[in-house]
Structure formats: structure tokens, C-alpha cells
């Protein structure tokens, strides 16, 4: 027994193949030797030198070289199916042995695009590329852009609006985050604005976020609504408290201009208020306030000089009762229509210049100009205010405020009956026209309206309201007689 055991040990230690052990011999030096030996063996395989190294099959039996196995597989492809069937019938669990032949193939041919396919336990050589049998299972290149980190804030907002997946983590600086928020607000998409606000709320300190939202009222309203929906009461209260305090501070600072008596100092103060973090609408009002005061200062200085020098007839005939400084816009427009109605648009005191600068609506402008010119009894200017000319050259009267209001304003300014009747006739509604004509004693309009309606009863009744022997009574009799003759 000891002899047999010694022979067995000698066999294992003398073999070129070593059994696996748990010894500590697998150090770096031994690994280096094994790697060198493997490289030398590979070189021998490629050079088709099969004499120095014994080859074994999958079952451990010595067979030919690998290149021989490849050659044998390629040459015996026609008989591989028979061998497979016979092996399956015998229930063999091992691969069939390959006869040893000289191979014209080398391992280097495998690196030239050739692939070795295993089908039913047999190996066959093919020149077909891998991608024909195993195509790349990956997304189209366009879809990889969804996860790209190179999108600008504008592109990111556009993709979010289309429902694409976009990572906001790449926006790390405060400037990039604010640009992203501004682009979201400009896109007018509430979902995108809310998504960006959630990202900012998570990545910015509360003080910085609240400070930036003070000048972005749209985003501020979205965040307040979002906090209400999610029930984050503490953050909501802090935000509302800060907004209320900031607004109160801004309003109190703006009210300080009322305590400044010097006009120049007030103008400079209002100029500084334009930069306060108000909403866009409030900022526009403050800007108009500053511009109006600046315009009033120029007009006041010029008109005071003209009035003192006595060079203007209108100032001599209608002296100014008060200064134009610090007056509302409508009062300034009335003043301009009263004293500077005929001036060119290029001057600061021109009514059309004021209308264009402050974007005064047509109705407001017509009402103010009508009141100013009617007070001066400038009826030609009143007619020109409502007369328009079409592209064919025909004139037509049109009032954006309605001719019934024109009649009321003219009557309050003591317009003559002839002027009132002219505009009462332009009232389209018959009932309104009759009421105005009766109220302001425009007899001709009443008689003409009843005549057009062929209402003898009302015309006869109205005859009792005019003076006997007047021109109106004669006109009514003429209309009644003409209707009788036409009836007969």
C-alpha cells in the first residue's frame, strides 16, 4: 500500500497539470511564472507547434491541438448531425472525440472577424459577423440626449413642457438656477414652474430663495399655492410673513414722497423708488408717476414764463388758477387740451404726446378733450374730434363714447341748441334720441323723429308743448297737413 501511495504522489507531482490546493504557494512570483508559461503556450498554439504540449479534451483525454479541432470541425460539418444523433441515442454525457488531422487554421484567424458557433454540442466555423446574429440591443442615439447634461435652461424648459425626462441637478450655480426659473416663468407652464420651484426649494437656502422670489411675483404665487396644497404650513407662514413685511416696507418707503415739498427732491426720490422690488404692474405705475412729474416740471416752467411775459392770448383770456405740479394724469391731460391743444406732437405739453407716452385709452382721451374744448366753446374742435374720413374721402362722425354722452357733456358746458340738435340727431336709438331731444328742448329733432315714425298722435300731443305761433308749431302743422294730403 505504501508503494502504491508513493507512486501516486510521484505521478501527481511529476505531471504537467497540478491539482488545486489551498497552499500559500500562489504568491506573486508563482503567478508571474504561471502567466509567462501561459503566454509561451499561447505562442506555441498560434505557431501550430503541437509537439511540446499535451492537449486534453473536455473529459481530460489527450487529443490534437485546438487548430486541429477547428479544422476537424469544419471538415466534418456534414457528419456532425449524425454524430449528435448517435450520441443522444446512447445517452452519452461527453463530447465525441475528434480525429486528429493537420489543420490549416490557426488561432490568429479567430481575431480576423471569424466566429466559432456552438450548435447542439458541435463547433462550426463561420465568417459572419457577430452583429448579424447578436445585434446591439441599445436605445437610439437620439434617446440618449434625454439624459444629457448639456441642455441650456431654455432647452431644458422646452423638453419639460414636452414631457421629456430632464435632470435639473446640473444647474448648480445660483445664476443658472435663476435663469432656469425665469425661462420656466416665460414659458407660462404651471407644471414646469412648480417643478423648478421644488428643485430650488430643495437646493437653495430659504433666505436666498425668498429674496429672489420677491422680484418674481409669478413664481412667488406658484410657490404659495404649492405650499398650500402640500400643507407645509411653517414654510408657508414664513414666506407670507416675509412677503407682507417686504411689501409694507416698500409701500411705506414709497409714501415718503408725499412728505417731500421740494419738487426736484421729490422727482429724485421717485426715481429711486423705481428700483424697489415691486411687482411688474406696480413698477410700471411708479415709472409713470416719475415720468409725469418730470413732464409737469417742464410744462410748469414754460407756462409760467409765458403767463408772466403775457405773450400768449389764451393765458391772458383764461389765467391759470393753480399749478400743474403734482396733479393727476387726467388733470394734466385736461390742462394740456385747454392750453396746448393745437401744439405739435413733438412737444412735451402736446395732448397727443401725453396720450402716446402714457398710453391713455381713446375713450378717456375723447372725454377729456371734449370737456376742455367745450369749456372754451371751440365747437369746430369738437366737430373735428368726432369727424373721420375713410379711404374714399367721405367724412363720417363717430364717437367711441357714444353720442348720448357727447350731448350730456355739451349741455353741461352750455352748448347752443343748434349744436345740441346736431349731435342729438346722431344718437341711433330712437327712444334715447326722443328722450334727449325732449329733455333739452330740441324741438326740431322731436318733430323729425315723429314724422319719420308717422306717429300723428304723438306729434299732435307734442304740439301742445311748444309755444303758440312759434316756428316749431308751424312746422308741426305743415307735417300734419302733408300727411293728410298724402293719405288722400
CA dist., res. 439 & res. 364, Å (int): 26
Work out the average pLDDT over 53-60.
47
Q: Is the pLDDT of residue 208 over 90?
A: no
Q: Is there a contact between 257 and 266 (Cβ–Cβ < 8 Å)? A: yes
Where would I find the H helices in 376-416? 379-386, 403-412
- Give the number of residues written for the chain: 488
The residues spanned by each domain of the chain are 153-256, 261-360, 375-441, 444-487
Q: Is there a contact between 64 and 48 (Cβ–Cβ < 8 Å)? A: no
Joined grid coordinates for residue 450: 315723429
Instruction: Write down the pLDDT at residue 230.
Output: 86
**Tens digits of per-residue pLDDT, 15-51?**
555 555 554 444 555 555 666 565 555 555 444 444 4
Instruction: Write down the pLDDT at residue 152.
Output: 84
**Tens digits of per-residue pLDDT, 317-343?**
999 988 999 999 999 999 999 999 999
Average pLDDT along the chain:
75
Q: Is the pLDDT of residue 122 over 50?
A: no
Which of residues 187 and 251 earns the better pLDDT score? Answer: 187
Instruction: Write down the pLDDT at residue 434.
Output: 92
Secondary structure of the chain: what % helix, strand, coil (to 5)?
Answer: 60, 5, 35
CA dist., res. 298 & res. 373, Å (int): 23
Instruction: Write down the pLDDT at residue 107.
Output: 42
Percent of the chain with pLDDT over 70: 66
Instruction: Write down the pLDDT at residue 386.
Output: 92
Work out the average pLDDT over 454-470.
86
Q: At what angle do helices 206-213 and 217-230 cross, to 10 degrees?
A: 130
**Tens digits of per-residue pLDDT, 262-283?**
899 999 888 888 877 677 788 8
**Tens digits of per-residue pLDDT, 104-119?**
444 444 444 444 443 4
Distances (CA, A) of 41 to 25, 45, 49, 287: 22, 6, 10, 89
Tell me how crowded residue 209 is: count the other CB atoms within 10 A of its CB.
20
Q: What's the pTM? A: 0.53
Instruction: Write down the pLDDT at residue 32.
Output: 56
CA dist., res. 281 & res. 256, Å (int): 20
Find the angle CA(187)-CA(189)-CA(194) to the nearest 5 degrees: 115
Joined grid coordinates for residue 48: 501550430
Which of residues 455 and 365 earns the better pLDDT score? Answer: 365
Q: Is the pLDDT of residue 406 over 90?
A: yes
Q: At what angle do helices 263-273 and 280-309 cross, to 10 degrees?
A: 160
Q: Alpha carbon 361 to chain centroid distance?
A: 28
Q: Is there a contact between 101 and 68 (Cβ–Cβ < 8 Å)? A: yes
Which of residues 300 and 60 earns the better pLDDT score? Answer: 300
Q: Is there a contact between 216 and 185 (Cβ–Cβ < 8 Å)? A: yes
Q: Is the pLDDT of residue 131 over 70?
A: no
Which of residues 169 and 90 earns the better pLDDT score? Answer: 169
CA dist., res. 443 & res. 421, Å (int): 9
Instruction: Write down the pLDDT at residue 39.
Output: 52
Amino acid at each position: 500500500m505504501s508503494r502504491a501511495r508513493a507512486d501516486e504522489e510521484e505521478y501527481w507531482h511529476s505531471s504537467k497539470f497540478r491539482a488545486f490546493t489551498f497552499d500559500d504557494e500562489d504568491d506573486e512570483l508563482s503567478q508571474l511564472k504561471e502567466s509567462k508559461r501561459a503566454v509561451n503556450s499561447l505562442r506555441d498554439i498560434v505557431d501550430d507547434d503541437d509537439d511540446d504540449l499535451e492537449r486534453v479534451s473536455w473529459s481530460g483525454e489527450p487529443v490534437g491541438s485546438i487548430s486541429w479541432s477547428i479544422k476537424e470541425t469544419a471538415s466534418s460539418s456534414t457528419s456532425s448531425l449524425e454524430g449528435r444523433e448517435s450520441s443522444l441515442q446512447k445517452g452519452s454525457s461527453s463530447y465525441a472525440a475528434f480525429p486528429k488531422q493537420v489543420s490549416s487554421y490557426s488561432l490568429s484567424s479567430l481575431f480576423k472577424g471569424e466566429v466559432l458557433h456552438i450548435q447542439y454540442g458541435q463547433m462550426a466555423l463561420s465568417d459572419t459577423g457577430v452583429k448579424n446574429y447578436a445585434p446591439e440591443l441599445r436605445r437610439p442615439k437620439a434617446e440618449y440626449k434625454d439624459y444629457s447634461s448639456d441642455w441650456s435652461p431654455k432647452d431644458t424648459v422646452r423638453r419639460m413642457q414636452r414631457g421629456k425626462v430632464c435632470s435639473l441637478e446640473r444647474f448648480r450655480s445660483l445664476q443658472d438656477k435663476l435663469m432656469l426659473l425665469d425661462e420656466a416663468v416665460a414659458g407660462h407652464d404651471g407644471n414646469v414652474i412648480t417643478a423648478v420651484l421644488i428643485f430650488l426649494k430643495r437646493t437653495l437656502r430659504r433666505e436666498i430663495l425668498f429674496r429672489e422670489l420677491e422680484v418674481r411675483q409669478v413664481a412667488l404665487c406658484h410657490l404659495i399655492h404649492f405650499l398650500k396644497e402640500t400643507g407645509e404650513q411653517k414654510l408657508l407662514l414664513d414666506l407670507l410673513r416675509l412677503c407682507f413685511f417686504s411689501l409694507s416696507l416698500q409701500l411705506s418707503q414709497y409714501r415718503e414722497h408725499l412728505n417731500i415739498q421740494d419738487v426736484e427732491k421729490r422727482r429724485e426720490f421717485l426715481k429711486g423708488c423705481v428700483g424697489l422690488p415691486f411687482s411688474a404692474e406696480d413698477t410700471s405705475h411708479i415709472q409713470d408717476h416719475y415720468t409725469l412729474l418730470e413732464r409737469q416740471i417742464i410744462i410748469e416752467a414754460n407756462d409760467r414764463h409765458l403767463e408772466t411775459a403775457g405773450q400768449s392770448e389764451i393765458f391772458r383770456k383764461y389765467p391759470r388758477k393753480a399749478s400743474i405740479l403734482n396733479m393727476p394724469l387726467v388733470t394734466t391731460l385736461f390742462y394740456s387740451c385747454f392750453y396746448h391743444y393745437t401744439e405739435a406732437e413733438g412737444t412735451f405739453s402736446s395732448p397727443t404726446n401725453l396720450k402716446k407716452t402714457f398710453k391713455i385709452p381713446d375713450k378717456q382721451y375723447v372725454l377729456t378733450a371734449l370737456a376742455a374744448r367745450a369749456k372754451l366753446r371751440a365747437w369746430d374742435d369738437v366737430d373735428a374730434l368726432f369727424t373721420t374720413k375713410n379711404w374714399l374721402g367721405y367724412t363720417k362722425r363717430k364717437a367711441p363714447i357714444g353720442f348720448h354722452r357727447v350731448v350730456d357733456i355739451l349741455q353741461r358746458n352750455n352748448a347752443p341748441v343748434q349744436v345740441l340738435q346736431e349731435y342729438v340727431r346722431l344718437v341711433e336709438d330712437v327712444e334715447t334720441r326722443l328722450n334727449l331731444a325732449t329733455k333739452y328742448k330740441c324741438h326740431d329733432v322731436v318733430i323729425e323723429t315723429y314724422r319719420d315714425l308717422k306717429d300723428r298722435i304723438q306729434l299732435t300731443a307734442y304740439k301742445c308743448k311748444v309755444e303758440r305761433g312759434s316756428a316749431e308749431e308751424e312746422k308741426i302743422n305743415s307735417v300734419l297737413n302733408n300727411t293728410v294730403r298724402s293719405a288722400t
